[in-house]
Chain A
Amino acid sequence: KQEVTQIPAALSVPEGENLVLNCSFTDSAIYNLQWFRQDPGKGLTSLLLIQSSQREQTSGRLNASLDKSSGRSTLYIAASQPGDSATYLCAVYGYAGNMLTFGGGTRLMVKP
């Protein structure tokens, strides 16, 4: 059974810092990997989707990498801003049923 782990569980940084969020998964036979953002009491906003054949995806200040063989993905946020404060969720698409398995999330707080 696929298990997805995110480290750290919580992170507090001053504004302007570059930061890295980590995601690891136990079964490397994944279809895609997706990073989401969730604001308190809200649904999920998709940030980046990485196909299994890709190594990374970039969108603005966000860059996500994928290393299937080692079962790892990182989300890099450049020049963090208070508006980046949210919970970031990593999820993998498995071939069996093609369902999404979510990590526990990283709660990020960027202080002004």
Chain B
Amino acid sequence: GAVVSQHPSRVICKSGTSVKIECRSLDFQATTMFWYRQFPKQSLMLMATSNEGSKATYEQGVEKDKFLINHASLTLSTLTVTSAHPEDSSFYICSARENQGTEAFFGQGTRLTVV
């Protein structure tokens, strides 16, 4: 299958700082990328859907000013957690898809810990 690279895999930051997570499709052009959040022992919850060159669509309850998503190119999307707080600590996973209807491929995830 296609490869989606997510970086960093693990990050620890102080409260009040911002953290950027990158998601890259390595061998295909991703018209759509998805960002998920996963709490311990729970399933994935979709945070937002981003299409290249347009604004991301956020799911209900997700603060768009806190979780900034940029999908500036067909191979890169970024999620920036702004003014992070301990409650933002979680596992974040991105997913990329070439076209609508095609299989989505997942990154390795990023473990964010805010202290």
B11 at the interface (CB under 8 A from A): no
Chain B min CB distance to A6 (Å): 8
**Interface contact A98-B103, CB-CB below 8 Å:** no
By beta carbon, the residue of chain A nearest B6 is: A43
Complex CA–CA separation, A65 to B71 (angstroms): 35
Count the B residues whose beta carbon is within 8 Å of the partner chain — how many? Answer: 24
Binary CB contact string for chain A from 22 to 45 against chain B (1 if under 8 A, 0 otherwise): 000000000110101000011110
Is B26 close to A, CB under 8 A? no
How far does the Cβ of A100 sit from chain B's closest Cβ, in whole Å?
Answer: 6
Closest CB-CB distance, A91 to chain B, in whole Å?
A: 8
- Given known contacts A34-B103, A43-B93, A43-B106, A103 and B1 CB-to-CB distance under 8 angstroms: no
Q: Are A98 and B108 in contact (CB under 8 A)?
A: no
Interface residues of B in 96-110 (CB under 8 A from A): 100-101, 103-109
Instruction: Determine whether the beta carbon of A102 is less than 8 Å from that of B44.
Output: yes
Contacts A43-B109, A46-B103, A46-B105 given; indicate if A99 touches B34 (C-beta within 8 A): yes
SS class, residues of chain B in contact with chain A: strand
Is the pair B109, A42 in contact by a Cβ cutoff of 8 Å?
Answer: yes
Q: Is A97 an interface residue (CB 8 A)?
A: yes
A101 to B43: give the CA distance in the assembly, Å.
Answer: 10
Knowing A31-B101, A46-B105, A89-B43 are in contact, say whether A97-B93 is a contact too (CB < 8 A).
no
Q: Are A100's CB and B34's CB within 8 A?
A: yes
Give me the interface of B with A, judged by CB distance under 8 Å.
Answer: 1, 6, 34, 41-46, 49, 57, 91, 93, 95, 100-101, 103-109, 111
Of the A-B pairs whose beta carbons lie under 8 Å apart in the complex, a sample of 27, sorted by A's number, is A31-B101, A34-B103, A34-B104, A36-B106, A42-B108, A43-B6, A43-B93, A43-B106, A43-B108, A44-B44, A44-B93, A46-B1, A46-B105, A49-B103, A89-B44, A93-B101, A97-B49, A99-B34, A99-B46, A99-B49, A100-B34, A100-B104, A102-B43, A102-B45, A103-B43, A104-B43, A105-B43
Interface of A toward B, CB cutoff 8 Å: 31-32, 34, 36, 41-44, 46, 49, 89, 93, 97-105, 107
